Amino acid sequence: MASVDHDVQDRTLAAAGLRRIDEAARSLPVLAAVRAHLAAERPLEGIRVSACLELDARTAVLARTLRDAGATVVLCGADPRSTCDATAAALVDEGIGVFAVAGEDDATFLAHLAASVDQRPHLLLDDGGDLIGLAHASRRELLDTAIAGIEDGRAGVERLREMEADGVLALPVLAVGEAQTRHLVDHRYGTGQAALDGVLRLVDPLIAGSTVVVLGYGWSGRGIAERARGMGAQVVVTEVDPLRALQAAMDGFRVAPIMDAARIGALFVTATGAVDVLRPEHMAEMRDGVVLANAGHGGFEIDVPGLHAAAVEESDTQPLVRTFTMADGRRIDLLAEGRPVGRMAGGAPAVVRDVGLATQALAAVYAVAHADSLGNVVYAVPPAIDEEVARRALQAVGVAIDGQPDGGAGPRPDEA
Amino acid sequence: MASVDHDVQDRTLAAAGLRRIDEAARSLPVLAAVRAHLAAERPLEGIRVSACLELDARTAVLARTLRDAGATVVLCGADPRSTCDATAAALVDEGIGVFAVAGEDDATFLAHLAASVDQRPHLLLDDGGDLIGLAHASRRELLDTAIAGIEDGRAGVERLREMEADGVLALPVLAVGEAQTRHLVDHRYGTGQAALDGVLRLVDPLIAGSTVVVLGYGWSGRGIAERARGMGAQVVVTEVDPLRALQAAMDGFRVAPIMDAARIGALFVTATGAVDVLRPEHMAEMRDGVVLANAGHGGFEIDVPGLHAAAVEESDTQPLVRTFTMADGRRIDLLAEGRPVGRMAGGAPAVVRDVGLATQALAAVYAVAHADSLGNVVYAVPPAIDEEVARRALQAVGVAIDGQPDGGAGPRPDEA
Amino acid sequence: MASVDHDVQDRTLAAAGLRRIDEAARSLPVLAAVRAHLAAERPLEGIRVSACLELDARTAVLARTLRDAGATVVLCGADPRSTCDATAAALVDEGIGVFAVAGEDDATFLAHLAASVDQRPHLLLDDGGDLIGLAHASRRELLDTAIAGIEDGRAGVERLREMEADGVLALPVLAVGEAQTRHLVDHRYGTGQAALDGVLRLVDPLIAGSTVVVLGYGWSGRGIAERARGMGAQVVVTEVDPLRALQAAMDGFRVAPIMDAARIGALFVTATGAVDVLRPEHMAEMRDGVVLANAGHGGFEIDVPGLHAAAVEESDTQPLVRTFTMADGRRIDLLAEGRPVGRMAGGAPAVVRDVGLATQALAAVYAVAHADSLGNVVYAVPPAIDEEVARRALQAVGVAIDGQPDGGAGPRPDEA
Amino acid sequence: MASVDHDVQDRTLAAAGLRRIDEAARSLPVLAAVRAHLAAERPLEGIRVSACLELDARTAVLARTLRDAGATVVLCGADPRSTCDATAAALVDEGIGVFAVAGEDDATFLAHLAASVDQRPHLLLDDGGDLIGLAHASRRELLDTAIAGIEDGRAGVERLREMEADGVLALPVLAVGEAQTRHLVDHRYGTGQAALDGVLRLVDPLIAGSTVVVLGYGWSGRGIAERARGMGAQVVVTEVDPLRALQAAMDGFRVAPIMDAARIGALFVTATGAVDVLRPEHMAEMRDGVVLANAGHGGFEIDVPGLHAAAVEESDTQPLVRTFTMADGRRIDLLAEGRPVGRMAGGAPAVVRDVGLATQALAAVYAVAHADSLGNVVYAVPPAIDEEVARRALQAVGVAIDGQPDGGAGPRPDEA
């Protein structure tokens, strides 16, 4: 196999990519441990894997891991803006097929997507549903050879569940985007840190002593609220779900309706998953100089059109910060156009990706091992995988724990 | 109906009981709100309820609530040690049947249990499975008229699930002992507070600056660990489940194997649900003067026989504190014989019972309303009940929240 | 020397006292380390110490420590209600003079106080100023032989400072009641824990989810606020000092005027040191069922007379809990008559006393060593003593730290 | 007065500067409130102020404030790298003298410094001691007209205290760099946030679940430790001062000697004020991939030369991140060459400057009002100024508090 897009003569580019992948490998100890194990066992011998993922140096380490486990791997890049050509060049050198060019246009992307499945893959690794969607649409012959799809994105998983509910899902899918470790490491702690980090990088408030309103108390909201409190904020939580609201209250947070919170907050962070949670009627009550940011994985929690309509003047006071002036002179800063502020402006700690990539690798192995028993269903990640990833993540930070008496998953007697 | 056991002439006793029930009613605002609602709707008109519960003033408010909802109510006392004769006398005056005497012996208890179901109840309210067990054993004719059982105890629920798994459950059961609000208010926050409260009342350490080892990071363990940290302890968590261990680590706790924790802890609190978690091999490593307490709902997490065997000397240094001297002179204090230290020595905040009693009342109404569709299954408490209880619990502490857009349970998009 | 008050024949009593003192000694590791050191050095050889302190088993260990350091020690009991006759009997057996009988009347107390100084002491150990006061009033000849006074109480220290300001202090005094370790271990962490502990023992609220108002953000207020938050409360702080209020706000607490706080709190704890902080005008705004407690070391922060006047009905609903019913039916629970709730109803962790007693012993040694250079001034405890106590307190909980480069007190470069 | 350095014809530059100053003014509400007050009172009428400060838009708002209070103001730029020419141009337009050009060389800086005092100022505002130093060296005639110096930097204050101790200080100085509000807002909360912020921007670790070692538990160390814990880290504190170590332990932190901490940490942050706290012998024990950062206001807490000597390989893996490879293959990342990581890479929240600038303005007014009573001493900022700044800082975040009974500074009865 060979890439048509990359100049394999470009030794310099490939060498730079190799250094980048090696550097990334050092930052992914969980995946490294999985890779060592799979390289010894080779459970993917003879398996063809096609993957449509963000094509960066970290994904490259996953590709290496799958290859070392025995698979033939072909990649295309799920987001042309984040495709790294040097990484692609280096991967080709390592015998991994790549169809991706940084910044490619839609037509090229689609051609690459199609090319990536010409090998008639056993496994489809997806982040956003492009490959699995293709197999359900114009390339249904792929469903004959495919063992399973593995979906890394939360929105992708949601769409696949709808397909299952509608009776049109024609492939088993493992929902790695909703693994327990993902909820913990990514949605709660990762998003909690990245969202506030993004806010600090953009507008730099002193969190201590300020009033931070967190809308929504799910995995992400909890993470944000805890971290804001840990930085000295007075945190106000809004929730429409009474059980979550009760938990927030018993966790010591002030809980209030949005309208009441609107009057006292200095920074508002949405994490509800719902649409237009923060609306003009709330904005009308806010103090001068407030900051609005969204941390939910969609970009729709703040009513941005409503804000445009309500303002008498707007300007980009700095990159990703748009300042709206209201008729009464109050100003409101909107961060990152309401898109996820952590992803747009915050950091992306390696451990978050490490846990995700390791889960993808183990899910691939699981799907192959259980090919015969899988139905056309969206499966949660099996507890054994979550536990293996958690165990290796603990080892990576130097934490030892006792073994379980029976060597198995163990009871969780104390929790529903 | 009349009680054979209570002297209805004893006006003084009944008057004292009435004061106690009225006082209890003031401390149960959630149940009061439910009662007001049910008294207006009377959804239990014509329903016969038999209940085997701890017979104290708070349970009496539940009995009143069910009566005001239209039911005929007969009570016996699940734990003769906690039966309050004054309360019983007052209830009889209010037209509620009572078969219970404080401190009654086993034979009397069984006679009372039997008498309580002579009315052929539609609903069996249980705390520990005595009534439902009777219906499955010697009084199977009760299964003909019974609509459902409602089990308040966690151990009781576990046994009923085993019966269901074994195919012998012959009655629908609502597991109010495992309601979400119960997990939150009781298992996490209630147990978290009561366990440390019990330790303080018995041995009175300064928590700030001390090392507290919490074994287990389920609902209760988390509550204890958070509260100990909140009081200034350095907390070490032990867990055999890697996911929970990872969560503990990411919550900022030091996580270690038990043997390592044994060497540094000053206070050890078990909350695992497992047997003999803290064993002589650990005790051999502990520092002089450590304190051992159990917060799990069984009394078996500390290997007490092993401790007896390892000690060269023992004495009760004060009530519920037994001091064991080891061969090397080190001393270990065992609290409450390893039984749940919060229940034995800590407080019992009214709100914990309030939430539980309100859930029982609403579960009774639900069972009657859905009598036709219930199978012989142990049902989780329906979300709508959990949400109603949570909403009323928030109102009771003065917290308002926004309504859900569709008036229903609403999505929980951010959480698995 | 012999006690006229204790029957030295009473072997049983003395034996019980001895066991109690030995038990107390085990609970005071900091004092034990100091005692071991002083017993080897004997820096108080030939020194006569008279002490008027709470005469319990822990004080007895201090008396032993001073004796082992070479001193001749005579004790009387500062608070006849807390005098322990068994301890007194045992001390007499150990060659320590005791003039104290449990429950003695005022005349007997005064006679005992006088008798305790008949030895013409070099050092006066006081808790509340009785001995030092006597030396300034009717027994001024004591000032000729006395090297210094050592005052353990905060109120006592305040009075002595007034005497110094008025130019009437005729003796050097070391203010151990205001040592840095005392502020930390006792006022902040000890009071913080004991105050909430007292509230829990009396009225048993679930702290999680409740709104706790802490009035005052000094050492004690901070300790209470932190601990209440650590138990899951939403904490509101009131302060009149803008700097402390700013610190509270930046520590993440909601800060508000008392009147605003009065409307939302469920539990109010005063720790201001000021008089009548919580007044009828605030009580008029409170919700039904609120609880009022004082944690300040005086008993005057809640306007109790005002509360009596405002109520239409009162009753002691349980020991130390008085329930006031207002004209509009609202009820207010006052704990411990407004006296310090931690001291009246909470625990008294051994480490708090341990640190205090060790400081007294070291202050005695310091006074003797520096007899020539002391003026008639109230001296703060020298940093070297605070540091030695802190170092030994760390050792007692198993914490090692690095030594200071120059072996001395070391710079504190980061703090004013 | 006119600037010789700025082209006053450059309208565009001045207009940009004006916008920047106006924008800065919006971000400084505390200073704005002070300015409004002083503009009405004009307490600096006839006073000449020369200032050598960082010449940015925020300092410009201070200059305006002093001018509006009645003063004649001349500025030079304390750090040519941070001088903003647009701001300078705008200030000249407003009648404020400016001698500063961005990036000017040392000779120019010295010429500008000299020019700034040609007006024979009554007040010298300094940040680092250049102006006050000049007055003590080659321009001693300035001491005749000067009322006081006002020093904003901590290192500057330390040098002035040494001058006072050496008996060479010839001018009263107000140490605004050590105001109480500065300790709180800047050193504790500001540095706490900025240091972690800097680390995140440079190497982006997930703080949750990681072990963060904080060296030193002064104002800054406490702020960093609290914030790291609040973000989910397990925090280990090292201290040589036993009192601070005890406080850290009672605040719930794990306390250890540096060598023990070196073996378990993932991120090390120094905040001791001492030299070479983190040395090669510690680095030899560290895990692979650790990160070293300094948050102390000097750049000398990490033994950087020692690290260079111990490494076999070094490279700048990204800006301000230098990766050292040790002989055994372990890698250590040093941030910002050991210089203050918050200042080099973190944010600078406006409120920190706001509080500092307001204190400078009020200190200037105080010095003039008390000119007759000031000696040649380094004075702490008077409590009344700290309180006014704190009160206005609370107002700026919408927090109201009760007034003090006597309208004065009020007692702080609970604290030493």
| CB < 8 Å from D in window 186-215 of B | 208-209
Residue of A219, A272, A413 with shortest CB distance to B273: A413
Nearest to D293 by CA among D315, D314, D268: D268
What is the average per-residue pLDDT within B68-78? 97
Residue of B397, B402, B414 with shortest CB distance to A238: B402
Angle at C131 between CA C129 and CA C134, to 5 degrees: 100
Q: Which helix (H) or strand (E) holds D137?
A: none
A394: contact with B, CB 8 A cutoff: yes
Q: Which helix (H) or strand (E) holds B312?
A: strand B311-318
Q: Which amino acid makes up residue B62?
A: L
Residue C377: exposure state from Cβ atoms within 10 A (0-12, 13-18, ≥19) = middle
Nearest to D393 by CA among D28, D57, D68: D28
Those chains having 3 or more beta-carbon pairs within 8 angstroms of chain D are A, B, C
Tokens 């698979």: give the residue.
Answer: A71
Best mutation target, D212, D234, D236, to test chain B (most B CBs within 10 A) = D234
pLDDT at C142 > cutoff 60: yes
* Contacts C402 to D, Cβ<8 Å: 238-240, 257-258
pLDDT at C414 > cutoff 70: no
> A259 vs chain B: nearest CA distance in angstroms?
9
| CB < 8 Å from D in window 287-316 of C | 296
Least CA distance to B345: which residue of chain C? C201
Check residue C402 and report its DSSP letter. Answer: P
Separation CA A223–CA B326 (nearest Å): 45
CB contact under 8 A, B254 and D232: no
CB contact under 8 A, A193 and D201: no
Separation CA D19–CA A297 (nearest Å): 36
Residue of B181, B240, B399 with shortest CB distance to A410: B240
CB contact under 8 A, B232 and D253: no
pLDDT at B9 > cutoff 70: no
Q: A415: which 2 tokens?
A: 């929790």
> B397 vs chain C: nearest CA distance in angstroms?
7
* Contacts C265 to B, Cβ<8 Å: none
Residue of B249, B273, B402 with shortest CB distance to A399: B249
Best mutation target, B234, B235, B237, to test chain D (most D CBs within 10 A) = B234
D262: contact with C, CB 8 A cutoff: no
Sequence length of chain D is: 416
Helix ranges (H only) for C122-190 are 130-136, 142-145, 154-165, 180-181
Can you tell me the ipTM of this complex? 0.93
Give the burial string for D151-178 (b: 16+ CB within 10 Å, else e): bbbbebbbbbbebeeeeebebbbbbbbb
- Rounded to the nearest integer, the mean pLDDT of chain B is 93
Residue C38: partners with Cβ closer than 8 Å, 6 or more residues away: C44, C65, C68, C69, C361, C365
pLDDT for position B5: 52
Tell me the pLDDT band of B414, cut-offs 50, 70 and 90: very low
D232: contact with A, CB 8 A cutoff: yes
Least CA distance to B406: which residue of chain A? A240
Those chains having 3 or more beta-carbon pairs within 8 angstroms of chain A are B, C, D
Q: Dump pLDDT digits (tens) for C367-392.
A: 999 999 999 999 999 999 999 999 99
SS3 A211: strand
pTM summary value:
0.94
pLDDT at C239 > cutoff 80: yes
Least CA distance to A398: which residue of chain D? D264
B230: contact with C, CB 8 A cutoff: yes
A243: contact with C, CB 8 A cutoff: no
| CB < 8 Å from C in window 333-362 of B | 347-352
* Contacts B177 to A, Cβ<8 Å: none
Distances (CA, A) of B301 to A412, B199, B216, B274, B304: 15, 16, 11, 6, 9
CA atoms within 13 A on the CB side of A361: 35
Which parts of chain D register pLDDT below 70? 1-9, 405-416
CB contact under 8 A, C252 and A232: yes
> B173 vs chain A: nearest CA distance in angstroms?
17
pLDDT for position D7: 52
Separation CA A153–CA A176 (nearest Å): 8
Phi first, then psi: what are they for B163, rounded to 5°? -60, -40
Q: How many CB pairs under 8 A join B and C?
A: 100
Nearest to C206 by CA among C233, C182, C227: C233
Would you give per-residue pLDDT tens digits along chain A (416 residues)? 444 455 545 788 999 999 999 999 999 999 999 999 999 999 999 999 999 999 999 999 999 999 999 999 999 999 998 899 999 999 999 999 999 999 999 999 999 999 999 999 999 999 999 999 999 999 999 999 999 999 999 889 999 999 999 999 999 999 999 999 999 999 999 999 999 999 999 999 999 999 999 999 999 999 999 999 999 999 999 999 999 999 999 999 999 999 999 999 999 999 999 999 999 999 999 999 999 999 998 889 999 999 999 999 999 988 999 999 999 999 999 999 999 999 999 998 999 999 999 999 999 999 999 999 999 999 999 999 999 999 999 999 999 999 876 544 333 333 32
* Contacts A411 to B, Cβ<8 Å: 273-274
* Contacts C208 to A, Cβ<8 Å: 250-252
pLDDT for position A7: 52
Q: D31: which 2 tokens?
A: 């200073």
Separation CA B118–CA B111 (nearest Å): 11
C233: contact with A, CB 8 A cutoff: yes
What is the average per-residue pLDDT within C61-83? 95
Q: A96: which 2 tokens?
A: 């991994």
Tell me the pLDDT band of B411, cut-offs 50, 70 and 90: very low
CB contact under 8 A, B208 and D251: yes
Best mutation target, C211, C212, C234, C260, to test chain A (most A CBs within 10 A) = C234
Q: Which amino acid makes up residue D372?
A: D
pLDDT at C361 > cutoff 60: yes
Do D280 and D304 form a contact (C-beta atoms < 8 A)?
no
C239: contact with D, CB 8 A cutoff: yes
What is the average per-residue pLDDT within B90-100? 95
* Contacts D404 to C, Cβ<8 Å: 240-241
Do D41 and D10 form a contact (C-beta atoms < 8 A)?
no
Q: Above pLDDT 70, what percent of chain C?
A: 95
Provide the greatest CA pair distance for chain C: 68
> D335 vs chain C: nearest CA distance in angstroms?
21
Tell me the pLDDT band of C299, cut-offs 50, 70 and 90: confident
Do D31 and D62 form a contact (C-beta atoms < 8 A)?
yes
Residue of B232, B264, B350 with shortest CB distance to C398: B264
Residue of D242, D273, D412 with shortest CB distance to C413: D273
What is the average per-residue pLDDT within C267-286? 97
Separation CA B352–CA C374 (nearest Å): 59
Nearest to A230 by CA among C165, C230, D84: C230
Do A8 and A97 form a contact (C-beta atoms < 8 A)?
no
pLDDT for position D412: 37
pLDDT for position D11: 83
Separation CA B64–CA B53 (nearest Å): 14
Phi first, then psi: what are they for A146, rounded to 5°? -70, 135
* Contacts B384 to A, Cβ<8 Å: none
Helices A219-230, D219-230: inter-axial angle, 10-degree rounding: 170
CB count, 10 Å around CB of A11?
A: 11
D242: contact with B, CB 8 A cutoff: no
Best mutation target, A26, A199, A231, to test chain D (most D CBs within 10 A) = A231
* Contacts B264 to C, Cβ<8 Å: 398
Best mutation target, B191, B246, B386, to test chain A (most A CBs within 10 A) = B246
* Contacts D243 to C, Cβ<8 Å: 180-181, 184, 386-387, 390
Positions of E strands within A146-303: 148-151, 173-175, 211-215, 234-238, 254-255, 267-270, 290-294
Residue of C193, C201, C230 with shortest CB distance to B206: C193
